[in-house]
Amino acid sequence: MENTDRNYDSLKAEFYEKKMPSQGFELINQLILENRKIDLYALLDDHKKRSYYGLELQQRFWTDELIGYYNFLLIAVFAGFIPRKFNNDLRQEINKIMSYEAVVEYYRINYPYKLAGYTCEFSLNEMEYNGETNEESLRIFNEYISLNRFLKNDDDVDVFLAMLDYVSYGEYDISDVIKSLKSFEKLSQIITSKDKSALAQGVWGFIKYTSFISQLRTLMESADDFPILQSAIWLYHEYYFNRLQMKMKSFFDIAFFNLEKTMNNELLFKEMVEGLYNQNVPEDFNYKELMEFSIKEISDAKDDISYILNENWSLAMEDYFKES
């Protein structure tokens, strides 16, 4: 078995089996087999038509994760991490799920996600990637896997992104996160509080997501020699980038001003660190050094967001599929 085949098996084991993508496949496949088209359309309909709660909401998350997994595999192809074309079993699975009418409407109309369309096209047309891949593209993808693990495993980021995607947690939604970021007093109370409410998770999720964006910028800059891979990585997150721009762009300046103000307050910063360490801060902890680093990170994040929230990153992928 070649390394790329083993790599595919490892990705499937980590990101698909015993995870939400496999649940999403089992759900959609069963509805297709039972010819329950109406039920699938209802499950994947636009949330503006009706609200989703409980199991139905969870099942939509499963579907999102399944689509995301297929897209992740396309990125792996462009990196040379897995074979240059999808194997027969994977292609049959993708074709069955991603070309089904209700699913297509979900990712093309209800919640537009361009990369999903490209993944479906790559599979349906039995395409084979002929671009350059080498040790550097593999390094980039391995770093991207690590970065992606952070997004998948952080509860605060999960809450923030869900709020961006119209989900409410009790009385809190994305508007409450925005209000908190716009108020120095509210922001200070939240980041120093020991009580982790859904609102606090949303605020912390925003802070952590901006850190992710800064790391993503560094990764994308290192991928300049691999424009298709670079574009695919950006498109993987495009949906949330669009949501971020639409819901929060006008508040960035005041949000980052308040974050910098908080980081510059030694007492607040100390309370925040103690909260993060659950009052067990190491004796040799250097508050000043971390404080200076955090202030710089917040300051740089504004430029990083402007760099990332640029739709031109999608053009290389668009051109590739036009020419193929």
CA distances 239 to 86, 114, 117, 165, 244, Å, are 24, 8, 13, 9, 9
**Do residue 162 and residue 238 come from a single domain?**
yes
Kindly report the backbone phi and psi dihedral angles of residue 113, in degrees, each rounded to the nearest multiple of 5, phi listed first.
-145, 95
**Do residue 117 and residue 225 come from a single domain?**
no
- For residue 54, what is the enclosing H or E element? helix 54-79
**Do residue 164 and residue 193 come from a single domain?**
yes
The answer to whether position 246 is within a domain reads yes
The answer to whether position 104 is within a domain reads yes
**Do residue 126 and residue 101 come from a single domain?**
yes
Residue in the block written with tokens 């509860």: 155
State residue 265's pLDDT score: 74
**Do residue 162 and residue 233 come from a single domain?**
yes
**Do residue 254 and residue 193 come from a single domain?**
yes
HSE-CB at 244 with a 13 A cutoff on CA atoms is: 21
Query: Which residues span the domain enclosing 224?
Result: 136-313
The answer to whether position 216 is within a domain reads yes
The answer to whether position 321 is within a domain reads no
Question: pTM, whole model, 2 decimals?
Answer: 0.90
List the pLDDT tens digit at each of the 324 positions of the chain.
478 999 999 999 999 987 899 999 999 999 999 999 999 999 999 999 999 999 999 999 999 999 999 999 999 999 999 999 999 999 999 999 999 999 999 999 999 999 999 999 999 999 999 999 999 999 999 999 999 998 888 999 999 999 999 899 999 999 999 999 999 899 888 877 777 899 999 998 998 899 899 999 999 999 999 999 999 999 999 999 999 998 888 888 898 888 888 777 776 667 666 655 555 666 666 666 666 766 677 777 888 999 999 999 999 999 999 998
The answer to whether position 267 is within a domain reads yes
Instruction: Spell out the residues 6+ positions from residue 127 whose beta carbon is closer than 8 angstroms to its own.
Output: 85, 121, 324
The angle subtended at Cα 139 by Cα 155 and Cα 72, nearest 5°, is: 50
The answer to whether position 163 is within a domain reads yes
Residue pair 74/324 in contact by the 8 Å Cβ criterion: no
Residue in the block written with tokens 């504004």: 302
SS3 128: coil
**Do residue 153 and residue 265 come from a single domain?**
yes
**Do residue 102 and residue 159 come from a single domain?**
no
**Cα–Cα distance measured from residue 277 to residue 93, given in angstroms and rounded to the nearest whole number:** 45
State residue 248's pLDDT score: 87
**Cα–Cα distance measured from residue 30 to residue 321, given in angstroms and rounded to the nearest whole number:** 31
**Do residue 249 and residue 176 come from a single domain?**
yes
**Do residue 190 and residue 262 come from a single domain?**
yes
| Intra-chain end-to-end CA distance of the chain, in Å | 29
The total domain count for the chain is 2
The answer to whether position 324 is within a domain reads no
**Cα–Cα distance measured from residue 64 to residue 28, given in angstroms and rounded to the nearest whole number:** 12
Q: Is the dihedral of CA 319, 241, 154, 262 positive or negative?
A: positive
**Cα–Cα distance measured from residue 171 to residue 193, given in angstroms and rounded to the nearest whole number:** 19
**Do residue 170 and residue 276 come from a single domain?**
yes
Which of 95, 130, 165 terminates a domain? The answer is: 130
Which of 114, 130, 146 terminates a domain? The answer is: 130
Which of 79, 103, 130 terminates a domain? The answer is: 130
The answer to whether position 221 is within a domain reads yes
State residue 135's pLDDT score: 97
**Do residue 54 and residue 162 come from a single domain?**
no
